[in-house]
Structure formats: structure tokens, C-alpha cells
């Protein structure tokens, strides 16, 4: 896919090849990095994933098994068939320097899957998803269907807001959330990669368990706690700690924070003053990764925009008509609202392709808003959105724009 708005047959073929390669690489990387698997299980999974890559490459592009394994911690683009544009896969390692599955690889796998799922529903492609793909797609959609099943706006809003504000916590507290039982089931044990000696730490921005790793440098063992969502870590959800010699929890020390932001961006920037407290793994659970990543994470700027715009006297409705889009913002004294869809995709190209496939926003949104840390995606997204009567903008820029229309100050 050479650009985000090309929709010819070769583009779909390339997309499917990239998806098969990414899916196989992530699944294989999990087998390499997950504890508790015996060598036979690990090898069987890797051989299955190697077979998936071979199917994507076709008979004219053989790939030795050893080269497949090497590419997991090297350049993922090496696994693609000859002639397929790597797009986001260029230079991507699925296994990172700490021997864990890289965050971006998880995101690209999911985002490519959702694009293919949308294309299938629109009858734009005829490929049939495998069992694992369908299960993961259903998991994500089950949450929205369960929340909207009763057709009551307040029930939908309350449940979705709880998923954003409480992605992890004590099982007793999670049982009290305004969620149907089928959604509560998506809270599972704290991920292994987020635990250290029986403790976990919630990200100060999204409250999901942070990633914990130990590194040895010059003979000294140092711990690192960072949010699994890389932009949150770069915003300041990144800490160091000294591993405890007993079962007591470690104390986190914040790493250097980014430079002071422009006044416009400070309005939506989270408060990072409080250091995350340790919580016991026992009797605590967290949302599965996909629901956290694509409900909780983009929900943070949705709620922040609502709260800040309401403070300034604007009328803001969340997820109107049971999630036709994300925000309806009305300036006092006007009749035409601003219809907003908020997206947080790692791949701007995949998001652009999704918009193009749907010929705009399926719910009728006219503004595509991305978090401020995705500002670099705006040029590409603006090109795609312009074709379908939409505008792409960052969250803080949108807040400033509508406040100017209302005659009030944003920053």
C-alpha cells in the first residue's frame, strides 16, 4: 500500500499479506517469550507460524525456518513476499531488547485485523478469517454489543465510562462496575509481564498495569516500569526501581519528564504528580489487552475533551445514539453541532485505509480527532479525510477551535 487512499485489488492483496505476516510474527514471538511453555510446544507454535508466513509468501518466495526466527528480533519486513510494500513493518522488531513482544507489533496486528474485518463486512474482500481471528474480533465487538443491547443511552454511557476509568483493580470493586456480566468477563488476571514479586503498578494515565522488566548494567540490577502504551510512557508514565530482596514492593522513581508543553496542549495533559502505588496481584484483575488498548486508551481524550469543554460552557454529548460517533459538541447559540470521532491508531496508514473503505465515518462524524501525541499523523489523515468531507485535527487544536467559535478561552 503506497498510500492510504489506494483501493485497488493489489492493495487488498498486500494488506492481507502484511496481516498474515504480522499475525504469525506476533503469535510466534509470544511463544518465544512466554514463560511456562515446554520446548515441544514452543517449537510447534513457531513451525505453525512459519507455515503461515510461507502461505503469505507463496511458492515462489521460500523462507528458511532460521531466517523466520531471526526476523522476529530483526526487521519484520524481511518476512514479506517480494514486491509487497512494507509500510509500517519496515524496521519493526517483534521481540524487543528486553526479550518481550514489542507494543507496536501488538497494535499493528490488531489494527490490520480490524481493517480486514471492515473490508469483509463491506464485501470489499473475499478472504475468510481463521478461527483465532474471528474470536479476537468478536471479543472486541462483544463489549459494544453487550453495552448497547438494552438500547438505553445512559446504560451505554455508564458502562463505557467505567471501562475507561477502571481498566484494572480489585475484583471486589470491579464487580460493582456498571457493566453486564458478559463484559465483566473481559477482566482477567494481571498480565505476567506486569508483575514483580507479586505486585503490579497502574499507569498514572490509563491505570492499566504497567510493563515491568529487569535489566543488568555494570553488574547492577535495575527495574523499569513503563506503560505498555508507548505514548503514555513517553509522556511520563516511566519509572525506575531497585528490585526488593524479599517480597516487599519496590518503590518507583520517575524518569525525566518531557519538556514543558505549549499552553494549548497543557489543558488535556494528565496530572503525573502522584507516583503509582504497588498493588498485590492476588484478587486483582485487568481488562484484556484489546479492550484496554482500543476502548480505554482512546477513551481518555474523549472524557478529557468532554470535561474541559463543559467547563467552558459548551454542550457536549458522549457517544450519541449508542455510539454513532464519540462526541457531539454544540456551541451556545448555534444549531449545527460538531460531530467528532476520536481515534488512537499506531498506524496512520491503516486508519487512513479504514476511513477510505468506509467512505468517511460510518456514523456521520465530520471531525477526526487524534490525541496530541499523534500530531505527526495529521498530514496523511487530512488527505484522506478531505476526500470524504471530514477534517483531521489533534484533540487540543479541536478544543481551541470550538472554544474560539464560542468566544471563550481554551488555554
pLDDT in tens, 189-241: 999 899 999 999 999 999 999 999 998 877 889 999 999 999 999 999 999 99
- The 10s digit of each residue's pLDDT in 300-352 is 999 999 999 999 999 999 999 999 999 999 999 998 999 999 999 999 999 99
CA dist., res. 375 & res. 395, Å (int): 9
Cell numbers found for residue 133: 481471528
Average pLDDT, the chain: 90
Closest Cα partner for 65 from 83, 45, 51, 76?
51
For 63, other C-beta atoms within 10 Å of its C-beta total 16
pLDDT at 157 over 60: yes
Q: What does pTM read for this prediction?
A: 0.89
CA dist., res. 5 & res. 385, Å (int): 10
Grid cell 517483534 is found at 94
- Per-residue model confidence (pLDDT) at position 13: 81
Are 137 and 291 within 8 A, CB to CB? Answer: no
- The 10s digit of each residue's pLDDT in 119-139 is 877 766 555 455 455 455 556
Please spell the DSSP secondary structure of 203-253, one letter per residue: -TTT-SBPEEEEEEETTEEEEEEE-SSHHHHHHT-EEEEPPPSSSSPPPPE
Kindly indicate the confidence band of residue 37, based on its pLDDT and cuts at 50, 70 and 90. Answer: confident
For 181, other C-beta atoms within 10 Å of its C-beta total 8
- Per-residue model confidence (pLDDT) at position 8: 44
- Per-residue model confidence (pLDDT) at position 139: 67
Helix, coil or strand: residue 294: helix
Using the CB atoms, write b or e for 228-267: b if 16+ within 10 Å: bbbbbbebbbbbbbeeeeeeebbebebeeeeeeeeeebeb
Of residues 35 and 76, more confidence is placed in 76
CA dist., res. 294 & res. 231, Å (int): 14
Amino acid at each position: 500500500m503506497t498510500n492510504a487512499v489506494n483501493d485497488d485489488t493489489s492493495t487488498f492483496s498486500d494488506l492481507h499479506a502484511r496481516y498474515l505476516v504480522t499475525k504469525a510474527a506476533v503469535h510466534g514471538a509470544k511463544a518465544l517469550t512466554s514463560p511456562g511453555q515446554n520446548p515441544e510446544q514452543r517449537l510447534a507454535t513457531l513451525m505453525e507460524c512459519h507455515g503461515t508466513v510461507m502461505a503469505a509468501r507463496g511458492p515462489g518466495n521460500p523462507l528458511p525456518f532460521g531466517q523466520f526466527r531471526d526476523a522476529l528480533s530483526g526487521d519484520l519486513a524481511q518476512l514479506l513476499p517480494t514486491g509487497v510494500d512494507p509500510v509500517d513493518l519496515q524496521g519493526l522488531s517483534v521481540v524487543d531488547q528486553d526479550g518481550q513482544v514489542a507494543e507496536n507489533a501488538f497494535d499493528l496486528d490488531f489494527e490490520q485485523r480490524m481493517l480486514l474485518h471492515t473490508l469483509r463486512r463491506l464485501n470489499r474482500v473475499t478472504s475468510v478469517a481463521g478461527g483465532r481471528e474471528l474470536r479476537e474480533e468478536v471479543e472486541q465487538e462483544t463489549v459494544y454489543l453487550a453495552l448497547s443491547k438494552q438500547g438505553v443511552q445512559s446504560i451505554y454511557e455508564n458502562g463505557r465510562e467505567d471501562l475507561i476509568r477502571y481498566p484494572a483493580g480489585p475484583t471486589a470493586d470491579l464487580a460493582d462496575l456498571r457493566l453486564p456480566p458478559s463484559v465483566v468477563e473481559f477482566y482477567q488476571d494481571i498480565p505476567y509481564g506486569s508483575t514483580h514479586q507479586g505486585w503490579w503498578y497502574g499507569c498514572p494515565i490509563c491505570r492499566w498495569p504497567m510493563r515491568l522488566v529487569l535489566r543488568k548494567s555494570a553488574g547492577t540490577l535495575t527495574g523499569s516500569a513503563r506503560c505498555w502504551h508507548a505514548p503514555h510512557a513517553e509522556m511520563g508514565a516511566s519509572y525506575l526501581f531497585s528490585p526488593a530482596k524479599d517480597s516487599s514492593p519496590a518503590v518507583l522513581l520517575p524518569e525525566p519528564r518531557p519538556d514543558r508543553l505549549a499552553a494549548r496542549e497543557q489543558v488535556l495533559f494528565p496530572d503525573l504528580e502522584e507516583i503509582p502505588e504497588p498493588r498485590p496481584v492476588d484478587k486483582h484483575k485487568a481488562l484484556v489487552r484489546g479492550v484496554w488498548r482500543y476502548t480505554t486508551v482512546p477513551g481518555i481524550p474523549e472524557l478529557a475533551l468532554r470535561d474541559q469543554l463543559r467547563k467552558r460552557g459548551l454542550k457536549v454529548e458522549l457517544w450519541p445514539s449508542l455510539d454513532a460517533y464519540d462526541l457531539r459538541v454544540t456551541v451556545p447559540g448555534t444549531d449545527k453541532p460538531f460531530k467528532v470521532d476520536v481515534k488512537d491508531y499506531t498506524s496512520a496508514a491503516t486508519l487512513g485505509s479504514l476511513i477510505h473503505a468506509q467512505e468517511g465515518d460510518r456514523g456521520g462524524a465530520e471531525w477526526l480527532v487524534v490525541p496530541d501525541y499523534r500530531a505527526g499523523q495529521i498530514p496523511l489523515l487530512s488527505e484522506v479525510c478531505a476526500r470524504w468531507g471530514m477534517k483531521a485535527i489533534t484533540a487540543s487544536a479541536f478544543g481551541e477551535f470550538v472554544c474560539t467559535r464560542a468566544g471563550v478561552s481554551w488555554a
